[in-house]
Amino acid sequence: MKNTLLFLTLLCVSLAGYAQAPPAAPPDTTRIWTIHGQNTFLINQSSFSHWAAGGGNAFAANVVFDYDFDYKKDKWSWDNKVIIGYGLSKENGIGWRKNDDRIILNSLLGYKAAQYWLYTFYANFQTQFTNGYNYTGTGDQRTLISAPFAPAYLTFGPGFAYKKSDNLRVNISPLAARITMVQNDSFSNAGSFGVTPGNKSLFEFGASLDGYFKFNVVPNVALENILKLYSNYLKTPGNIYADYTANLFMKVNKFVTVNAGVELVSDPNTKVPVQNNGITEYHSLLQVKQIFGAGLTYKF
């Protein structure tokens, strides 16, 4: 219930902000390539000593590299985004566990058709750096549930896009291919992530939607929204893959920021382990990740 309320609150704020989002500054038409990005280091720490109310010591650190490489000349544009994130957390008596692990590459090639409309071809790739585990208790009691390139996702296809600015765009591809790669033998043999047991890839063909919207809630506070949807024409098109991310950036000064983020993923092909009376069962459930921290951000 808590996660549902948070999702609805962020979505309502996003829709409300659409009406008050300031117009984007006119682009520099003499520049072909534009490169910008930010490096963020976040920390979150709590410590207790003889504290009557109780509490456990905890520490978390996250590093995120977020870069944009954009090309524009005449009617052609090519927008590229690279996001690399990794984080670890440590709780007293539990040890180190990762809380973020992602490699995201996104590319959108466009040809201007009207003022805000483009003919497009897009590609998106996602995977992770290290193994992922499901922890069933304290210490190192864990079960391997993911690995580098297990899974990895590659989605691409032609389409059309509405792009009012770099902070507001929606791309729709009615003919999109999606390849799920599972390069770990144990996951491949088990048929994890939707692949046929023994195979290391799954091919899907369907429709995709990729949306991005960022606006200032108040000065020095920005809300970023990222939405990805995919429907597979070849099998149960009603089971839609959905990935929604909301990131709140609060600027303290030129270098110090406070960031909060939540990501909600609904993937019919991904089954997560659930304990039921001592028996491990696998179900497709809503995946939720939340991150909050203060730290240093360098933009260029």
Domains delineated in the chain:
2-299 (2.40.230)
Residue positions counted in the chain:
300
Cβ atoms of residues 113 and 160 within 8 Å: yes
pLDDT of 94: 81
- The rounded distance, in Å, linking the Cα atoms of 108 and 58 is 40
* Helix (H) or strand (E) run with residue 17 in it: helix 2-20
In tens digits, what is the pLDDT along the chain, a chain of 300 residues? Answer: 444 334 434 444 443 444 344 455 555 556 899 999 999 999 988 777 767 766 778 899 999 999 999 999 999 999 999 999 999 998 877 888 999 999 999 999 999 999 999 999 999 999 999 999 988 765 567 889 999 999 999 999 999 999 999 899 999 999 999 999 999 999 999 999 999 999 999 999 999 999 999 999 999 999 999 999 999 999 999 999 999 999 999 999 988 999 999 999 999 988 776 767 766 667 788 899 988 889 998 887
Three-state DSSP state, 201 = strand
pLDDT of 8: 39
Q: Which of 127, 125, 193, 200 is nearest to 155 (CA)?
A: 125
- The rounded distance, in Å, linking the Cα atoms of 32 and 51 is 59
- The rounded distance, in Å, linking the Cα atoms of 284 and 93 is 30
pLDDT of 261: 92
CA atoms 52, 55, 61, 64: torsion sign: negative
